[in-house]
Chains A and B, each alone.
Chain A
Amino acid sequence: MSEQGRVINYGDAGVEALRDEMRRDPSIVYIGQGIGPRGGNFRQTRGLWKEFGDDRLRDTGICELGATGVAIGAAMAGTRTVIDEVFLDFALEAITQIVQQAANISYMSNGKIKAPVVIRGAMGAVRNAGAHHSHTFYNWFANTPGLKVVLPSNPYDLKGLFKTALRDPGPVALIEHKSLYNAKCVVPEEEYLIPFGEARIVREGKDLTLVAMSRMVDLATKAAAVLEQEGVSAEVIDPRTIVPLDRQRITDSIKKTGRLVVIDESPSSCSFAAELLAIAAEDCFDELQVPPQRINSLPVPNPFSPVLENQMIPSVERIVGEVHKMMKSSRRKA
């Protein structure tokens, strides 16, 4: 990622990826609620309906189960589709189609039928939306064989990963974070693709490894900056896609630093953080100097009160605090 060039936000980067790909591949059809003339609840399809019209930007009634099945069935028949669940929470209405049909179809058909569908939804806490509009259950998807899971943490990655998703044999769950839509960074206008399964070293460090996904990458980076002031050098890694996972790059970093902290917005039990700790135990046991740690949201429904929700979700302070404890604890091995 470069420091110089055109700066746009996450929402615009997604629109740009879609526009490019819909121009390149006339078979792509986009299905969802409010994604036509309205341009998307999160402005995530703004301007596209004007260019591509009703045939390719298909507004539906409020029927996530039906519409998701329709998108999957169209994909099985050879039309590349995007189903925009808008809030990832609403994908729950359609979970049977995603898990039972889309994810299983390649295997069940012995590879004869593919479902080139992108299941798009925005997750996570933003502006105290409360329990029904804040879920982050990407770990469920990651535990579903046959589904790829993409978690863009910034506009640059969103553009490159979305374009890759729109060329993948699928199905791909592209999960954005609601509170990132206004995040900005340099995004080249030119075409680029980011392959799945390639983690990004957000910043290099030597004392410990912070692995974070989606919005938590920003928190980890801020925590690393604070720690740097104190003389602690943290490496920050963003897997970008958790299925497939760049196990190599992550374990290389853990082996190098000997310390791992994972920051994950889902609750800890059976979370993706738990998976990363298991990987560290399997692959880096000898190199780990202290037990690896995970920082997750507390296992409660998202509370409405800002005070309570802030308490629930990982914060820069919590990350820095955990790292302090970890750095103080004695080395397991010399």
Chain B
Amino acid sequence: MSERLVTERISPELLLTYYKKLLELRLFEVKVQELYRNGRLPGFVHLYVGEEAVAVGVCSNLETPDLVFSTHRGHGHALAKGVPTRIVLAELWGKATGSSGGRGGSMHMYAPEYGFMGTNGIVGAPIPLATGAALSAKLRKNHQVVVCFFGDGAVNSGSFHEAVNMGAVWNLPVVYVCENNLYATEMAFLRATKNTSVASRAAAYGLPGVEVDGQDVIAVHEVASQAIHRAREDGGPTLIECKTYRYVGHHEGDPGTDYRTRDEVQQWKQKDPVKIARKLLLDSGGSNESQLQAADQEVERLIDDAVEFAEKSPEPAADSVNDHVF
């Protein structure tokens, strides 16, 4: 992408904020991976490494009251929506200061105060929930937009079909964002379905479907911007398919090499969203190397601070186990 394009499509300042966010998501997950491998974090984690441009490109269009519903691979969505690294990491650590006070963990973390309506342990389930939240927004006429992230694995579920159909027929302010990373666990998308174009499925429900390069944060931002604007103006839902890839295994502990080739992984790493954004900033003269190093250090400090905060945070009181069931 040339300098001209960068300046036309996005200001260097804005691109720098996206870059920092991309890096935050990346370094956060790399830190989680390290902590997890060292046995510091309980539970299971699904890391977002490689897919950062989707969350950042989409969420950079949202206001705090807008709502995001996420997946099992949702740390990046939470951070991109503005949930502080501290309380996301503390939740992964099961600490009382976590976004769910340690009751949720990676796949059940909620921060409605930031418009983050949860990661989710059930594939497909957030799609109806997001559609319902959009119904609520529409009835309350508050110009709130709801974004629902889900993987390619979710689009073959009944939840996807039923909810997208309802979102379309009721013309709800929701944007359906599929992160097509080509695999659901080990299952290649082309082994799971005959029609591998998720965007084309929109036609079945009568809403627009758009495909976009999910490694290009600017491209994602632009496509999402239109869809979110449309939703906000009561123009109804859009289905966006982001072509992306996870560099890591399905979950921490899965080598991720039985069902895909090293070549394939390497090829996708050539299209690294963090590197692409960094190069763009340098090539366009939007930032120089020393500015970027300062940005990198700022993000590193943010992650270090989150680790220190989470590590030092108290465990939940054991006798609080019965709280908040109802």
Residues of A at under 8 Å CB distance from B?
Answer: 27, 29, 55, 58, 60-61, 63, 65-79, 81, 96-97, 100-101, 104-113, 145-146, 148, 169
**In the complex, B236 has a CB within 8 A of chain A:** no
Chain A nearest CB from B147 CB (Å) reads 13
Chain A nearest CB from B271 CB (Å) reads 34
**Contact status B132-A61, CB under 8 Å:** no
Residue of A nearest to B162 (CB): A66
**Contact status A74-B135, CB under 8 Å:** yes
**Residues of chain A lying within 8 A (CB to CB) of residue B163:** 66, 69-70
Tell me whether A146 and B139 are in contact in the complex, defined as CB-CB below 8 angstroms, given that A73-B132, A77-B133 are known contacts.
no
In whole angstroms, how far apart are the Cα atoms of A47 and B129 in the complex? 29
In whole angstroms, how far apart are the Cα atoms of A106 and B118 in the complex? 12
Tell me whether A74 and B110 are in contact in the complex, defined as CB-CB below 8 angstroms, given that A69-B125, A110-B324 are known contacts.
no
In whole angstroms, how far apart are the Cα atoms of A204 and B321 in the complex? 39
**Residues of chain B lying within 8 A (CB to CB) of residue A96:** 122, 125
Residue of B nearest to A108 (CB): B108
In whole angstroms, how far apart are the Cα atoms of A237 and B162 in the complex? 42
Chain B nearest CB from A79 CB (Å) reads 4
Tell me whether A78 and B325 are in contact in the complex, defined as CB-CB below 8 angstroms, given that A69-B127, A107-B103 are known contacts.
no
**Contact status A109-B100, CB under 8 Å:** yes
In whole angstroms, how far apart are the Cα atoms of A63 and B159 in the complex? 9
Residue of A nearest to B100 (CB): A110
12 new A-B contacts, CB < 8 A, other than A69-B159, A74-B139, A109-B104, are A61-B169, A69-B127, A69-B129, A70-B128, A70-B163, A72-B129, A72-B132, A74-B133, A75-B136, A78-B136, A110-B104, A112-B110
Interface centre among B117, B122, B135, by most chain A C-beta atoms within 10 angstroms, is B135
**Contact status B112-A113, CB under 8 Å:** yes
**Contact status B122-A65, CB under 8 Å:** no
Chain A nearest CB from B315 CB (Å) reads 14
**Residues of chain A lying within 8 A (CB to CB) of residue B133:** 73-74, 76-77
**Contact status A66-B165, CB under 8 Å:** yes
Residue of B nearest to A169 (CB): B326
In whole angstroms, how far apart are the Cα atoms of A76 and B128 in the complex? 12
**In the complex, B166 has a CB within 8 A of chain A:** yes
Interface centre among A61, A67, A110, A113, by most chain B C-beta atoms within 10 angstroms, is A110
**Residues of chain A lying within 8 A (CB to CB) of residue B256:** none
**Residues of chain A lying within 8 A (CB to CB) of residue B100:** 108-110, 112
**Contact status B132-A69, CB under 8 Å:** yes
Residue of B nearest to A78 (CB): B136
Chain A nearest CB from B314 CB (Å) reads 14
Residues of B at under 8 Å CB distance from A?
Answer: 67, 69, 99-101, 103-104, 108, 110-113, 117-118, 120-122, 125, 127-137, 139-140, 146, 158-159, 161-163, 165-166, 169-170, 323-326
Residue of A nearest to B121 (CB): A100
**Residues of chain B lying within 8 A (CB to CB) of residue A107:** 103, 324-325
**Contact status B136-A97, CB under 8 Å:** no
In whole angstroms, how far apart are the Cα atoms of A70 and B166 in the complex? 9
Tell me whether A110 and B128 are in contact in the complex, defined as CB-CB below 8 angstroms, given that A60-B166, A79-B136 are known contacts.
no
**Contact status A146-B326, CB under 8 Å:** yes
Q: Which 9 A-B pairs have the closest CB atoms?
A: A69-B128, A66-B162, A73-B132, A73-B129, A109-B110, A110-B101, A111-B324, A70-B132, A77-B133
Question: What would 30 A/B residue contacts be, using CB atoms closer than 8 Å?
Answer: A27-B139, A29-B135, A60-B166, A61-B165, A63-B165, A66-B159, A69-B131, A69-B132, A69-B159, A70-B163, A73-B69, A73-B135, A74-B136, A76-B129, A76-B132, A77-B132, A77-B133, A79-B139, A81-B132, A97-B125, A100-B121, A101-B120, A101-B122, A104-B108, A105-B110, A107-B325, A109-B118, A110-B101, A112-B100, A145-B325
- B132 in complex: contacting residue of A75, A104, A169, CB < 8 Å: A75
**Residues of chain A lying within 8 A (CB to CB) of residue B128:** 65-70, 72-73, 97
**Contact status B131-A66, CB under 8 Å:** yes
Chain A nearest CB from B302 CB (Å) reads 24
**Residues of chain B lying within 8 A (CB to CB) of residue A110:** 99-101, 103-104, 110, 324
Interface centre among B129, B132, B170, by most chain A C-beta atoms within 10 angstroms, is B132
In whole angstroms, how far apart are the Cα atoms of A113 and B136 in the complex? 14
Tell me whether A65 and B162 are in contact in the complex, defined as CB-CB below 8 angstroms, given that A97-B128, A110-B110, A111-B323 are known contacts.
yes
In whole angstroms, how far apart are the Cα atoms of A107 and B325 in the complex? 5
Chain A nearest CB from B144 CB (Å) reads 8
**Residues of chain B lying within 8 A (CB to CB) of residue A69:** 125, 127-129, 131-132, 159, 162-163
**Residues of chain B lying within 8 A (CB to CB) of residue A27:** 139
**Residues of chain B lying within 8 A (CB to CB) of residue A72:** 128-129, 132
Residue of B nearest to A102 (CB): B129
**Residues of chain A lying within 8 A (CB to CB) of residue B159:** 65-66, 69
**Contact status B127-A112, CB under 8 Å:** no
**Residues of chain B lying within 8 A (CB to CB) of residue A55:** 139
- B325 in complex: contacting residue of A58, A67, A79, A146, CB < 8 Å: A146
